[in-house]
Amino acid sequence: MSTAAVPAGTKWWSGGKSPFNLSYGKMMMWYFLMSDAFTFGAFLISYGTIRFSANYWPDPNHVFDSAPFIHGGAPLVFVSIMTFILIVSSVTMVLAVHEGHNMNRKGVEKYMLWTIIGGLAFLGCQAWEWTHLLTGEHAVLVNGEIVNMATTVKANPWGAAVPGMMHDGHAVTTAGPVAFGGFFFGITGFHGFHVLSGVVINIVMYIKTRLGHFDQRGHYEMIEKAGLYWHFVDLVWVFVFLCFYLI
């Protein structure tokens, strides 16, 4: 059995250098983000399947129509503010990575701090939204009529059947509000956990930057890897925003 000769000068990859021109850390971050994208994708596909097979579904223009000091009449205003905050934090992260490429420690510190503030602001907005949805009044659209879920189902506005309601001659089942509440709090909570994790990571990166650890290493690759994660979180929010707040 003969073996093909290897041409002189050919260098095979032996683990010392990545064939993809990426560091090991960056490659593993991309693998993690890809697997995480599959998880979010499975959740959103499940949501879409239930959403378009249910007898009725809450109208986002009536559910998400409030903001701090505004009780109704402002559909999607608050979530638009949340989205804007997250997008701005993504911009500040890009600037932090850029300053890291230039080995500018002060610039990295400044923009990482703004990114952290943006992440905390988004989490604060989400906390207010959850509190409002769990304790306030919510409306759904059934047969063209706005029905208050909080007063119709006193025990739990997001669960149980809606007594006495009919849709196309059939009793309204629990497929609508139960699934909506479960998917909404589950997926937005899962995303919020990612934002919280990103804020913690960014705080660690900020502290390490102030201590000069990256200057000692001679590069700011860790800031870039944290930036990849943060941009992923922002991208996922675009799909969550589309599925829950617009459709």
* Predicted local confidence at residue 170, as pLDDT: 38
- Look at residues 92, 86, 89 and name the one whose alpha carbon lies nearest to residue 110: 92
* Predicted local confidence at residue 36, as pLDDT: 93
Q: What does the DSSP 8-state code read for residue 220?
A: -
What's the rounded Cα separation, in Å, for the pair 124 and 237?
16
Band (pLDDT 50/70/90 cuts) for residue 166 is very low
Q: Which two tokens stand for residue 205?
A: 């990166």
Q: What dihedral angle (degrees, nearest 10) is formed by the CA atoms of 100, 22, 193, 42?
A: 150
Q: What dihedral angle (degrees, nearest 10) is formed by the CA atoms of 169, 173, 176, 182?
A: 180
* Predicted local confidence at residue 172, as pLDDT: 41
Q: What is the mean pLDDT of the chain?
A: 78
Terminal-to-terminal C-alpha distance of the chain: 63
pLDDT surpassing 80 at residue 44:
yes
CATH of 24-50+58-137+181-246, one of 1.10.30.50, 1.20.120.80, 1.10.760.10, 3.40.190.10: 1.20.120.80
pLDDT surpassing 60 at residue 143:
no
Residue with tokens 């979010």: 40
pLDDT surpassing 80 at residue 126:
yes
Band (pLDDT 50/70/90 cuts) for residue 178 is low
Q: Which two tokens stand for residue 121?
A: 């602001």
Higher pLDDT among residues 235 and 71, named by residue: 235
Q: Which two tokens stand for residue 86?
A: 């997250």
Domain boundaries, the chain: 24-50+58-137+181-246
Q: What length is written for the chain?
A: 247
What's the rounded Cα separation, in Å, for the pair 89 and 55?
39
pLDDT surpassing 50 at residue 97:
yes
Q: What does the DSSP 8-state code read for residue 67?
A: B
